[in-house]
Structure formats: C-alpha cells, structure tokens
C-alpha cells in the first residue's frame, strides 16, 4: 500500500531518544528522476518554528501509527537549506494544478502517494478526484459511509508521477531542471488545450518557460481571446520574440485583437523585417484574402533551371516558406507569371527553365476578395494553396486551405449552436 502525504503531514517527529521534536510540515525532493527521492524534511517544532533537516537523519518511518523516527537527539540536529531547484511538495503541489501529460488534461492535486525504496521515500503518484478531495477536507470516512449506503463508488484518480507536469505559478522563482520538458513533447494543439484550462497567470508562466518555437506553435492553436490575453501579460521582448516565430498572418491576427498602443509597442520591439510583414497584413480587412494571407510564398525567377530550383528548395530560402506545395514564378517586379507543383518540379528535366515547364494560367484572388469567394475558389478548383495578387499582378502572399477552415468552422459551429435555441 502506498503511504499518503495526508497521513504523513502533521505526523510526530521523534528523536533517537523517543522525544518529540515536532510534527512534519512538508517534504522536499529534487524532481529529476522517474521516482524522485525525498531529500529533506520540514519540521514544525514545539516552539512553532520551522526546521529543515536532511533525510539522512531519518532512521525509519512507522505506518501504524504513522511517525518518523530520527537517528539523532533533538539538540544535535543540524539545519539544512533547500536548494533552489528542489521542490517543497505540500507548498508546490497540494491544492495546485498539474498537467496529466498522458491524458492531456489539467487536474487539481489533493494528495500524494509515496513508496519506500533505496532507504528513502519515493514520490510515485499524485491523486485528484472526489475521494482524495474529501480526504483533503477531512470527510473521507463519512463520505465513504454515505457512498456505501447508496451503493456509489468513490474511485481514486491516481496519476503516475512520471507523466505529471507541475504548473509553476511564481514567475520569479528559479525554474526547476527541465521544467515543462514533458509538456513540450506534446503536440502544439494539445499544449494549447491544456493552456486554455489554466488561469491567466498560469498560462503566462507556462508559455514563458517553453522554448520560443514551441510557445509560438502552441499560441497559434489557442482561441483568439486567449492569445490576446496571454500576449498582453508577457514582457514586450518575450511577446515580440514569440510573434516573430509565428507566421505573419497569425501574428497579425493576434495584434489586431490587442489595444492599439500595445500592438504598436510590440511592432516596435519586433525585428524590422518581421514587423514590416505584419504591418502590411494589418492594412487589410480581417475577412478578406489580404487578411487571410501570409507573405511566406516561395517564388523563383523564370530563367532558373529545375535543378537550381530544387537546390533553392533545400536551402534556408525554401525552409522559410509556409508551404512548398507550389512554386510560384515571378519576374523582377514580383509579378506572378506561372506556377509549378512540387511533383512537376521534381519530375521535370533538370536542365529545363522554369518558364518552359510552368503553368501560366494561375488561379488567384485579389487582396480585397471576401472570405466567401475565397472559400468558393478553393472548393471549385480543389486547391490547397491560393495566391493573392494585386491589381498590377504582383504576388502579395498566399492563403492555405487551413487558414480558410480556421476562419469558417467556428462560424458554422456558432450557427449550429444558435439553431438549437431557435
């Protein structure tokens, strides 16, 4: 049977002579291993003072009745100092939110489970759910009787520590080693769902601890109102750094939902090139082709050979494009001349010029084209990507099919939800 923190907390601490030193207030561990070991005890002495002692002073842990026996007399105990990367379990976990990275959900911790191993206590799991909550509130016994009377089960919701990611709530605190390493391995859409379950300060703490690339991908997947609130809570440099790593159209969508002063502040903090791309997109109405597009279109000159074009696809120039489904052929003034699919480019004669193998008839829309017409164009021509050109034929950007779906699907869901109440 596991040893519960609720049973250990407030249990008596006895010295080598059996004299009462105080009661257990908390346990400290270094959360590095799959089953991390308790490294220190926090004792509340009879004089109501806190004393931290190393686990090496523990002789044994008795279960019935629960008590912790030390190897030394009270007068010889030497206080220890917690390391910044260590965690006080009761303070950091109990009645706090953690992420269950296996089930991709947020739970509130009501109790902790330990096992004895390697001469110490090892943290093996956290508990959530109604049963542990009632235990935390001191009502488990009464609730158990009521549950048995009505034939209702009070199951234990146990989450193994190896899949638990604690949510840091103090931005000024020194971060634990590999903080959010488990969370960062999830898909950005799953991270976004988890972030949306947290309160604003928790969201900001999680996002600030993730690497900028992961943070940008996760932020892109969250709801617009969540995006705006998180960006407003961040330091300007951090927010600008994340916005720079997003596609320009996604960054523009976020900035358009911010107060004008805040949006301007972030644009001034961003790198000039990235900021300029976003500013250009912000000049367009939201539900138009210009508002939907991103400037990350991969385009090449017409006199390039197919072999040289493939070489550029492999380069950093190609990697920066949002999509490589199509290669657009443009002249010196970036006017759209033709298009090539990736398949056509790969199968082409390596020595052929692009203007010899491109398709000159390109389906495109103007920046002012409305969302409905854009969607109809995608459907009519079965496109994955749609170029946007101005009245002079200059390639301004591209719209991907997911950009349109992300805008249309929420509108459909809202319409369906409204019909239920009509």
- Which CATH number is 385's domain given? 3.10.580.10
* Statement to judge: residues 50 and 197 lie in one domain: no
Half-sphere exposure of 128 toward its Cβ, with a 13 Å CA cutoff? 15
* Structural domain includes residue 69: yes
pLDDT of amino acid 141: 61
Report the DSSP pairing between strands 50-54 and 120-128.
unpaired
pLDDT of amino acid 420: 46
CA dist., res. 151 & res. 134, Å (int): 17
* Statement to judge: residues 42 and 78 lie in one domain: yes
Partner residues linked to 42 by β-bridges? 26, 52
pLDDT of amino acid 171: 46
* Statement to judge: residues 93 and 220 lie in one domain: no
* Contact between residue 66 and residue 10 where contact means Cβ atoms under 8 Å apart: no
CA dist., res. 231 & res. 224, Å (int): 11
Partner residues linked to 23 by β-bridges? 12, 44
* Statement to judge: residues 29 and 125 lie in one domain: yes
Tell me which residue of 202, 293, 302 sits closest to 250, measured CA to CA.
293
Sign of CA dihedral 291, 256, 275, 202: negative
* Statement to judge: residues 303 and 371 lie in one domain: yes
* Statement to judge: residues 220 and 254 lie in one domain: yes
* Statement to judge: residues 4 and 93 lie in one domain: yes
Question: pTM here?
Answer: 0.74
CA dist., res. 51 & res. 319, Å (int): 56
* Structural domain includes residue 171: no
* Statement to judge: residues 222 and 327 lie in one domain: no
**Segment 363-414, tens digit of pLDDT:** 999 999 999 999 999 999 999 999 999 999 999 999 999 889 888 876 555 4
Tokens of 219: 């932020």
pLDDT in tens, the chain (422 residues): 789 999 999 999 999 999 999 999 999 998 888 899 999 999 999 889 999 999 999 999 999 899 999 999 998 998 999 998 899 999 999 989 999 999 999 999 999 999 998 788 999 999 988 777 777 666 656 556 655 655 656 667 899 999 999 987 654 454 555 678 889 999 999 999 999 999 888 888 888 888 889 999 999 999 888 998 899 888 899 999 999 999 888 899 899 999 999 999 999 999 998 999 899 899 999 889 999 998 878 899 999 999 999 998 887 554 555 667 889 999 999 999 999 998 999 999 999 999 999 999 999 999 999 999 999 999 999 999 999 999 999 999 999 998 898 888 765 554 444 444 44
* Structural domain includes residue 306: yes
* Statement to judge: residues 336 and 389 lie in one domain: yes
Q: Please give the residue range of the domain that contains residue 330.
A: 299-406
CA dihedral 383, 387, 393, 394 (to 10 degrees): -160
* Statement to judge: residues 264 and 306 lie in one domain: no
């Amino acid at each position: 049977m596991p040893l519960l923190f609720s049973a250990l907390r407030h249990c008596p601490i006895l010295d080598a002579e059996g004299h009462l030193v105080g009661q257990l207030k908390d346990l400290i561990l270094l959360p590095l291993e799959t089953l991390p070991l308790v490294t220190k005890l926090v004792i509340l002495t009879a004089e109501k003072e806190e004393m931290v002692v190393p686990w090496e002073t523990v002789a044994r842990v008795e279960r019935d009745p629960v008590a912790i026996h030390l190897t030394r007399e009270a007068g010889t105990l030497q206080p220890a100092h917690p390391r910044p990367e260590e965690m006080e379990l009761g303070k950091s976990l109990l009645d706090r939110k953690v992420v269950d990275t296996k089930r991709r959900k947020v739970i509130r911790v009501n109790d902790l489970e330990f096992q004895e191993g390697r001469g110490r206590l090892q943290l093996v799991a956290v508990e959530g759910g109604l049963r542990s909550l009632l235990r935390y509130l001191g009502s488990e016994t009464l609730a158990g009787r009521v549950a048995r009377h009505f034939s209702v089960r009070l199951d234990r919701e146990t989450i193994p520590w190896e899949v638990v990611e604690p949510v840091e709530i103090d931005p000024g605190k020194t971060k634990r080693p590999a903080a959010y390493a488990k969370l960062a391995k999830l898909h950005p859409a799953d991270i976004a769902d988890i972030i949306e379950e947290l309160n604003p300060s928790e969201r900001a703490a999680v996002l600030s601890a993730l690497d900028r690339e992961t943070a940008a991908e996760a932020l892109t997947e969250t709801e617009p109102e969540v995006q705006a609130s998180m960006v407003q809570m961040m330091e300007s440099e951090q927010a600008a750094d994340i916005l720079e790593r997003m596609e320009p159209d996604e960054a523009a969508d976020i900035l358009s939902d911010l107060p004008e002063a805040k949006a301007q502040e972030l644009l001034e903090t961003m790198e000039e090139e990235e900021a300029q791309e976003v500013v250009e997109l912000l000049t367009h109405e939201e539900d138009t082709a210009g508002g939907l597009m991103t400037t990350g279109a991969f385009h090449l000159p017409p006199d390039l050979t197919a072999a040289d074009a493939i070489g550029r696809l492999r380069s950093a120039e190609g990697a920066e494009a949002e999509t490589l489904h199509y290669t657009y052929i443009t002249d010196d003034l970036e006017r759209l001349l033709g298009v090539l699919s990736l398949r056509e480019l790969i199968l082409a004669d390596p020595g052929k010029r692009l203007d010899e193998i491109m398709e000159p008839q390109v389906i495109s829309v103007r920046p002012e084209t409305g969302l409905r017409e854009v969607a109809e164009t995608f459907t009519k021509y079965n496109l994955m990507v749609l170029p946007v050109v101005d009245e002079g034929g200059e390639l301004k950007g591209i719209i991907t099919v997911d950009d349109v779906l992300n805008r249309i699907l929420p509108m459909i869901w809202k319409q369906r939800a409204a019909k239920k109440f009509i």
